[in-house]
């Protein structure tokens, strides 16, 4: 059964700082990994999807990496802004026949202070 862990649980940084959010997963036989953003009381916004054949994906100030062999993914946010304040969730699929089912980490609550 897939298990996903995110570190740190919370992070507070001043505006402009670069930061890294960490995600680890136990079952490395995945074919993709997805990062989401959730604002308080809202749904999830998909940020980046990394295929197993890729090592990283970039979208604007966001860069996500994937290392299947070590069971780790990182989300790098460059030049953070107060609008980046949200909970960031990492989700990895199960392996085998149920590989469409996602297991979520508990998230990292990010606060960017002006």
Q: Which residues would be at the binding site for other proteins (CB under 8 A)?
A: 31-32, 34, 36, 41-46, 49, 51, 89, 91, 93, 99-102, 104-107
Classify residue 96 by its DSSP letter.
G
Min separation Cβ 63 and other proteins, Å: 18
Please identify, using beta-carbon distances, which residue of 34 and 80 lies nearer to other proteins: 34
Please identify, using beta-carbon distances, which residue of 14 and 40 lies nearer to other proteins: 40
Q: Helix, strand, or coil here: 52?
A: coil
Classify residue 82 by its DSSP letter.
G
Rounded to a whole number of angstroms, the CA Rg of the chain reads: 14
Min separation Cβ 18 and other proteins, Å: 26
| Nearest alpha-carbon partner for 21 in 105, 92, 95 | 105
Min separation Cβ 104 and other proteins, Å: 5
Please give the Cα distance from 61 to 79 (Å, whole number). Answer: 7
Q: From the DSSP assignment, how many helices (H) and strands (E) are in the chain?
A: 0, 11
Min separation Cβ 86 and other proteins, Å: 14
Please identify, using beta-carbon distances, which residue of 13 and 44 lies nearer to other proteins: 44
Please identify, using beta-carbon distances, which residue of 83 and 97 lies nearer to other proteins: 97
> Can you name the residues that pair with 4 across neighbouring β-strands?
25
């Amino acid at each position: 059964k897939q298990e996903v862990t995110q570190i740190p649980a919370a992070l507070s940084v001043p505006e402009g700082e670069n930061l890294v959010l960490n995600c680890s997963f136990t079952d490395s036989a995945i074919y993709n990994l997805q990062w989401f953003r959730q604002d308080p009381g809202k749904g999830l916004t998909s940020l980046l999807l990394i295929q197993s054949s890729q090592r990283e994906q970039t979208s604007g100030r966001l860069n996500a990496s994937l290392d299947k062999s070590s069971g780790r993914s990182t989300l790098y946010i460059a030049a953070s802004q107060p609008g980046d304040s949200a909970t960031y969730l990492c989700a990895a699929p199960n392996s085998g026949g149920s590989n469409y089912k996602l297991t979520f980490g508990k998230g990292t609550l990010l606060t960017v202070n002006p």
